[in-house]
Amino acid sequence: MAAVGRLTQSLLRASLSHTRRQMSAVAAGEGEHTTRTWKILTFVVALPGVAVCMLNMYLKEQQHSHEQPEFVPYSHLRIRTKRFPWGDGNKSLFHNPHLNALPDGYEGHDE
């Protein structure tokens, strides 16, 4: 049983040393080619992809309606069990008066 363990370890060591030699040879010879490939991919694929996504977002934003959504007083939304520790205690930290309703409706509207 011990002989099988020693044989396995010696085979594993030989395999690892062979793999390390191959990797070092590849890294020494093809590093410049790999760098050039990634640089080309960055300028040909990645940057145009980001530009197309930005254009898509801009065009979708231009079509987007900027109207205030209708206020529906659902009982399970906008529950305030305790006051927020800033401001008047009723508005969240990133409160937007145009889009975020308070428990009794939007600010500045008497409905």
Q: Residue 52: what pLDDT?
A: 98
CA torsion angle for 103, 104, 105, 111 (degrees, to 10)? 170
Confidence of residue 46 (pLDDT cuts 50, 70, 90): very high
Is the pLDDT reported for residue 93 higher than 80?
Answer: yes
* Chain mean pLDDT for the chain: 82
Q: Which amino acid is at 56?
A: N
Cross-strand pairs, 12? none
pTM, 2 dp? 0.43
Q: Residue 80: what pLDDT?
A: 84
Q: Residue 13: what pLDDT?
A: 73
Task: Give phi and psi for 9, each to the nearest 5.
Answer: -65, -40
Q: Of 69, 100, 108, 72, whose CA–CA distance to 84 is shortest? A: 100
Alpha-carbon gap, residue 69 to 54, rounded angstroms:
26
Confidence of residue 111 (pLDDT cuts 50, 70, 90): very low
pLDDT for 80-89, tens place per residue? 889 889 888 8
